[in-house]
């Protein structure tokens, strides 16, 4: 069975550029989560969707961050403009129901120079 698929695996870009991270959840899962992981702050929930609808975006750090889920099989997390402090590993996870066991992708390692 295919797990959660994230792309790209690695992204290196200069500050000020737009960054788009992509996620394909597990088929049949109706909840999708975006996390950020850093040494300083650990694993932080940024936003989550249920049935393609954003439910809680209180973890999104600034207006520079936005996320969309146009359909049940695809979500994006966009940072515009990017800053060096956005450097982190970004994970996408999906689950069957919001409170169910979440299955994580292998993350996108983002470096903003």
Partner 1 sequence: GESVGLHLPTLSVQEGDNSIINCAYSNSASDYFIWYKQESGKGPQFIIDIRSNMDKRQGQRVTVLLNKTVKHLSLQIAATQPGDSAVYFCAESWGAQKLVFGQGTRLTINP
Q: Which is nearer to partner 1, 48 or 65 (CB)?
A: 48
Smallest gap from residue 82 Cβ to partner 1 (A)? 19
Residue/partner pairs of 54-63 with CB below 8 Å, 24 or more apart: 55/98
Smallest gap from residue 47 Cβ to partner 1 (A)? 10
Q: Which is nearer to partner 1, 38 or 51 (CB)?
A: 38
Summarize as ranges the residues that interact with partner 1 (CB under 8 A).
4, 33, 38-43, 45, 48, 56, 91, 93, 97-107
DSSP string, 49-92: EETTEEEE-TT--STTEEEEEEETTEEEEEESS--GGG-EEEEE
């Amino acid at each position: 069975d295919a797990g959660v698929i994230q792309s790209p695996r690695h992204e290196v870009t200069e500050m000020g550029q737009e960054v788009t991270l992509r996620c394909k959840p597990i088929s049949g899962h109706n909840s999708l989560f975006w996390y950020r992981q850093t040494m300083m702050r650990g694993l932080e929930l940024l936003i989550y969707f249920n049935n393609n609808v954003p439910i809680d975006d209180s973890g999104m750090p600034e207006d520079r961050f936005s996320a969309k889920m146009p359909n049940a099989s695809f979500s994006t997390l966009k940072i515009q403009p990017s800053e060096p402090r956005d450097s982190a590993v970004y994970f996408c996870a999906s689950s069957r129901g919001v409170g169910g066991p979440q299955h994580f992708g292998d993350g996108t390692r983002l470096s903003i120079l």
